[in-house]
Structure 1
Amino acid sequence: MSRELPSSGEPAGGPAPSTLIDIVFPGDTNHHGTLFGGAGLALMDRVAFIAASRFGRVPFVTASCERVDFRKPARIGEIVEVTAKPISAGRRSLTIEASMTAETIVGAGRHLCTRGVFHMVAVPDEDRPTDWSLPSLPAGIEDSHRDEVRMVDIVFADQSNSAGKMFGGEALAFMTKAAFVAASRRSRTLTVLASSERIDFQRPIAIGEIVEALAKVTKIGTASMAVETELWSEDPLSGKRHLTARGTFNMVAVDSDHRPVAVIPRNPEGLRS
């Protein structure tokens, strides 16, 4: 039976950062092999919206963004990590700081690609009193889940079936991506999916809900890693979270010729062998 991740079910509320993690594929790049600037901005705006929704629990729209400087590009095959965090709250306006970092799989190189500030405006429903306002920002909260991958996104219509629920294949792809990032960061080499254990979907995920995958390497063999992954759905307005799926993905570290290579744990504490 799969062991529950230590942080399972904990909402990332308050000013704790929300993180969207993706991989740069050829379809997202220009003729130089680097991520389109517009694609990077779209990721930053998306995670800014998630961070705002988790803070205010009301619908938000993007009002403006301050100057965004692209310092270094993200290239094909790199992992991009986009983090957003509220830094200032007014009556119905919220300022979100977002940054995008690129990370090479081999060698653990990281560099800041861009940073910007997004101004979001709350659009409360008619049931809220006319004097409603956003809460004040509490004291800073550190992200204490550094030993696992936590990645969020929003379910859009093109990811859903005719009933307005997220396709199972899309959910599996999201979980597999989280497992890949966790295994690659642990081994600092390329990894491939060897197998997955049984995955039961306990609840459908509706369009507009936030999805968060939590992945952690829990067992390391000679060239293989077991990555336990959970998929949570979250109502952006109420904050109510549900465990949607849980499974274990077996990843294998490979070299440039796709031959298995030994995994050297960076932090073996808490791992099973």
Structure 2
Amino acid sequence: GIKTKSMFGSSEVGGDHDETPIWDDSCTLDANKDGLPDNYPPACDTNEQILELRLRAPDLEIIEVAAAKTKGEIGEMLSVSVKVVNRGNAHATDVNIILCKDQSETDIKRNGCEEINIVYRQIVKAIMPIAEDDTEEPNSITLLYMVQAGNHEIVVVVDPDNVIVETDETNNIRRIPGGKMSSTLGVVDVGVDVIAKYSVPVIILGATFSLIGVSGYVIYGRRIAALSRFAELSSLLPGMEDDDLRF
């Protein structure tokens, strides 16, 4: 509410005759909601006005996360089903839902999900608020995770950038069941992936050095052959100077 105070003090110190430190005697108080004030002058405080504010804001909450499979071949797409409800009193639009890998829920709450760790993103155009007595199950939202080599912790995050102002921001993060999604061979796949990643450049580099070596050997062989030919001709023409020889 709103309260004004007199520069001469309250009624307790001989100032404003009806100003009191409490709010229970406000002339605008209507605790029983009957449309009539609970206190009437002169037994009420006219320095106060009780206000009722109705704030409208969404409140998105992840109520369920399910993954039919948490292991697959590298490159395979695994589905993650998410159910999100809006317990607020206003609809939410352009809701971002992401899959974040290799970050804990605590880290995401503090620092957000780093861009390089976002493995999937989906935008839901609108999520309408539900009534308090509504028992209807919300529709599932399907997110896709492309299997990467190794074991990765996967967390579902709603509104990761906190663009939507909500009454409660603590219920927008939830891990998948089991916490991790992995490739078939787990850590072994990581080693295979590293070998596959760097084997081609190593082969190309080795082939390049081999070609350089072969070229050097050929050039060296031709030089030796030319010197031998020069020596042979020199022995056949003893009366000529070396500068007069032409090949």
Q: TM-score range by the shorter chain?
A: under 0.3
- TM-score, normalising length: structure 1: 0.20
- TM-score, normalising length: structure 2: 0.21
Of Structure 1 and Structure 2, the greater helix share is in 2
Choose 1 or 2 for highest CA Rg: 2
Of Structure 1 and Structure 2, the greater strand share is in 1
